[in-house]
Structure 1
């Protein structure tokens, strides 16, 4: 076993002390520090071109990836393993009055000891087995583990057959600009150095899947993530004559009730079930208060997939929207009838009919109706909308749909279904080719090798259950599925674009061996030290050894402890 606990913990704390909240200058600060640290290694002083600091592409924010590689000399081989981890974190406001200590684990733990804490949190804090702080779990300890291995093999390239690449990417917590921009660097190195990328090992955090779960999970792929969105139009009316119009918020509420938490929309695959969709935003688009009902509303949902394509999801959600619209109108008619009886007013049948369009369908109608004037208008509209830096891609998409709706000849109430954000592709690792077979075997043997030295079960599963940047290194979707994600995104090609062809060209099988803990994105974020600083580097190293043909290191043998310069 690698004797690495203290060094990985030291590196973790050094990274954590840099507040690198996504979309802030902290992302630049941590990239600079990581670059300086790796540059201090003797190997990179001798091979400076093997380390780069690369700015992200098509990004409104300045930030950088750090990439480095070591070429092994044990035997000539093009086989290359990529170690990937993100250096950004979520914010620290959830720490409240302790937020100035959030990135200083020792200070934070001392301060927390004076607070009233949940029982489990207190037991972890009182032990010497857990480490608290923003980023210790998600995922700076994972980056530290990778950095430790890079340093070891940079000191001992004679023990490395093949090559080892480190990718420390930014912007994982928002829009994946980091990994998507790094694809060009990986492609360039593949051409220049003839790297054969046989596997990618990510090190994002893992956590219990349910209360009392003692397993430590390793994932052989990842869920895909979509953001299906609904623009809902109604018929405006005065609140004093509410049955004369159709409130889009009423339709939106029924739509959310139909879709959120619905187990029918869980994409079961390979014996595993992802979380059902849930609403992440529901709002009307009235700019200010009036006594009139809204003209339109906007709802979007998180949606995990494992085997379905973006095209499949559109078809399923169109049916769900039709069900919701029909149910809302049925209930509205019943309530109208009841009100008329109560008030003594004459009953008149309401005119509304359910109407659901997928964005691509609406686009075709608009082009048929208006042709080039519509196309040119929307091009100019999007260019002007891009000048508003306050709009994220989700609200940008909503504004585009709202403007396009104004061109519709038939403006009767409707639901428009589209995507308004990045599609993070699903990845399945099933052994469908030699690379996947080798990685699955290497992982199985690595876990067997390390398990005797850890008291809790280390269990492999098929899909990482959260959004992560593994989605941007391989594709399991066909072209038709990917096309559905782009042509149904109103911001595609302007506010939003992903080069899925570049992902397809890399297409490296990926697994996640990450630190274990609780409460990521929470003020009690913490990692278990033994698993995170000992087991993670060891399992990762065992996989590397097997993939690169360096022999099956016997369990219990040690690599010499190496100290990384502290500064």
Structure 2
């Protein structure tokens, strides 16, 4: 076993001390710190071109990744392993009065011990075996592990029959500009240095799957994430004549009731099941108060996948939307009839019918109806909309759909389904290719080697359950699935674009070996020190050696 505990712990504290909240200048500060640190290692003093700080491309902000590589001297192999992890964090508002200490693990622990902590948190705080602080778990201890291994192999290149690439990227917590740029740089290095990428090891955090779960997990591949979104139109009316219109918020509420936490929308593969979808936004699109009901509502949901494609998801959600629309209209009619009965007013027949279509379907209908008048208008509209810096990707997409809807010949109530954010593809590592088989074997051997030195079980599963940059170093989807996702995203090609062919060119099997802890993205974010700074580097070390020995 490598005697790495103290050094990795030291690097972890150094990195946590630099507040690198996503979309702030802290990302640039930590990139520079990492670049300076790596450049000071003797190997990189002798080989300065082996460490770079490339700026991200097509980014909304100026920021940087850090990359470095060590060429092994054990043989002449070009086989190359990538170590990767992000250095940005989420914000610190959840730390409230302790926000000033969020990046100081030692002082934060002192203050936390003075609070009336939940029992498990208090147990960990008093034990001396856990480190608290923003970024400690997600995921600077993982980056610290990779940094240690980069330094170790730079001092022992004779152990490498091949090469090691170190990558740490910005913007994982928001829009993935870091990894999307890094893919281009990795491909450039592949061509320039003749690297043969055979495996990637991500070092994002892992957590218990349920209360009392003692396992420390390693993951082959990763869950995919989509953001299915719904633009819902009603029939506007004065609130004094409420039953002369249809409130789109009623349909939206029924849609969320139909989709939220629905186990029928969980995706099972290889014996593992995704968490069901849950709403991330529900709103109407009225800009201010009036006594007119809303013209439209907008909702979107997180949606995880293991084996389904973006097309599968929209087809399933079209069905769910149709059910929700029917239920909303049934409820509306029941309440209308009840109102007529108690008020004595004569009723009328309800004419509305459930109407659900994808963005692609709507686009086809509008092009058929209006031709180039519509398409030319929308090109100009999208370009002008880019000037509104207040719109994030999700609201930009909603505004595009809202504008397109104005051109619809039939303005009766409808639900338009589309994707309003980046698709993080699912990744399967099943052993279908030689590289996958070698990586799986290397991982199994690593666990067998390291497990005797650690008391809790180290367990391998198939899908990393959180969103991560793993999604952008390989592809399990075919081009048809990716094209479907882009055709149904109103922001594609203007507000954002992903070069999936660059990813397909890289296409390296990826696993996740990362620090263990609890409450990532929360006030009590913490990592178990022993596993995170001792076991994780040793597991990764064994994987590197085993893969390159093939």
TM class, shorter-length: over 0.9
Cα distance in structure 2, aligned partners of 1:474 and 1:10: 32
In structure 2, the partner of 1:158 is: 158
CA shift, 1:158, in A, is 1.6
Query: Normalised by the size of structure 1, how large is the TM-score?
Result: 0.96
The 5-angstrom pairing of residues 362-511 of structure 1 reads 362-511=362-511
The 5-angstrom pairing of residues 56-455 of structure 1 reads 56-455=56-455
CA shift, 1:351, in A, is 1.6
SS at 1:103's partner residue? coil
Q: CA RMSD in A?
A: 0.7
Query: Normalised by the size of structure 2, how large is the TM-score?
Result: 0.99
How many equivalent residue pairs? 550
CA shift, 1:243, in A, is 0.8
Unpaired stretches in structure 1, ≥5 consecutive residues: 551-567
CA shift, 1:159, in A, is 1.8
Cα distance in structure 2, aligned partners of 1:61 and 1:122: 40
Unpaired stretches in structure 2, ≥5 consecutive residues: none
CA shift, 1:266, in A, is 0.4
SS at 1:505's partner residue? helix
Contact 1:224–1:424 (Cα < 8 Å) also in 2? yes
Cα distance in structure 2, aligned partners of 1:457 and 1:502: 37
CA shift, 1:350, in A, is 1.6
CA shift, 1:255, in A, is 0.4
SS at 2:225's partner residue? strand
Contact 1:311–1:480 (Cα < 8 Å) also in 2? no
SS at 1:54's partner residue? coil
Cα distance in structure 1, aligned partners of 2:81 and 2:31: 22
SS at 1:283's partner residue? strand
CA shift, 1:153, in A, is 0.7
SS at 2:269's partner residue? coil
SS at 2:54's partner residue? strand
SS at 2:313's partner residue? helix
Cα distance in structure 2, aligned partners of 1:86 and 1:315: 34
> What's the CA shift string for 1:325-358, capped at 9, x where partnerless?
0111111111111111111111111221110010
Cα distance in structure 2, aligned partners of 1:153 and 1:463: 29
CA shift, 1:128, in A, is 1.2
In structure 1, the partner of 2:19 is: 19
SS at 2:65's partner residue? strand
SS at 2:486's partner residue? helix
Cα distance in structure 1, aligned partners of 2:50 and 2:166: 10
SS at 2:273's partner residue? coil
In structure 2, the partner of 1:31 is: 31
CA shift, 1:74, in A, is 0.9
SS at 1:144's partner residue? helix
CA shift, 1:248, in A, is 0.4
Cα distance in structure 2, aligned partners of 1:58 and 1:238: 46
In structure 2, the partner of 1:557 is: none
SS at 1:219's partner residue? strand
In structure 2, the partner of 1:525 is: 525
Cα distance in structure 2, aligned partners of 1:165 and 1:284: 47
Cα distance in structure 2, aligned partners of 1:127 and 1:329: 57
SS at 1:55's partner residue? coil
Cα distance in structure 1, aligned partners of 2:468 and 2:32: 23
CA shift, 1:184, in A, is 1.1
Cα distance in structure 2, aligned partners of 1:158 and 1:514: 26
CA shift, 1:170, in A, is 0.4
Cα distance in structure 1, aligned partners of 2:319 and 2:505: 35
Contact 1:129–1:529 (Cα < 8 Å) also in 2? yes
